[in-house]
Amino acid sequence: MSEPATEPFVLTVGDIGVTQSQIVTPNGVAPLAGSSWLATDMSVTQSKIPTWALVVAIVGAVFTCLLSLLFLLAKEHVTTGYVQVSVRSGDFTHTTQVPVTSLDAVTNVRASVAHAQALAAQASS
């Protein structure tokens, strides 16, 4: 472990901060060069009928009969869970869980981890 970071963060992933040369976590500071990163998607995406569609179908069924039942075909995708991000640099390891509420959020966390891996490779050269 080395001294606390004096450089500005280039990237943050959950509670992990990344500078040009260091990884900063609540557990301490480690060198970025030679670090390895892993993102594990622990989220679940479900498809369901939104509440508004149920209400419109029920209210509409009273007035227009079967036509309003087409609203039951409306679907929304709901994502819940987290992406687990682990970083290892020498003997130092840290794992964090980043909550996600959409597939875009999962993609953004994965992109951040890929960027951290690229910074680690660049710091090693």
pLDDT tens per residue, range 33-91: 999 999 999 999 888 888 887 788 777 776 666 667 777 777 888 899 999 999 999 99
Are 85 and 116 members of one domain?
A: yes
Are 10 and 37 members of one domain?
A: yes
Structure tokens at 22: 């260091």
Are 64 and 94 members of one domain?
A: no
Are 5 and 39 members of one domain?
A: yes
pLDDT at 60: 74
Are 60 and 114 members of one domain?
A: no
Query: Which band of pLDDT confidence, cut at 50, 70 and 90, is reported for residue 29?
Result: very high
Are 86 and 113 members of one domain?
A: yes
Q: Tell me: the pLDDT tens digits for 94-108?
A: 999 999 999 999 999
The total number of structural domains in the chain stands at: 2
Are 71 and 91 members of one domain?
A: no
Are 99 and 124 members of one domain?
A: yes
**Residue-range definition of the domain harbouring residue 58:** 49-75
Are 10 and 61 members of one domain?
A: no
Are 3 and 55 members of one domain?
A: no
Reference 3, options 25, 28, 27, 37; nearest CA is 28
Are 113 and 53 members of one domain?
A: no
DSSP code string of 7-34: SPPSEEETTEEE-SSEEEETTEEEESTT
Cα dihedral 111, 115, 120, 125, rounded to 10, equals 130
Are 68 and 89 members of one domain?
A: no
Query: Which band of pLDDT confidence, cut at 50, 70 and 90, is reported for residue 3?
Result: low
Q: How many CB atoms lie within 10 A of CB 65?
A: 9
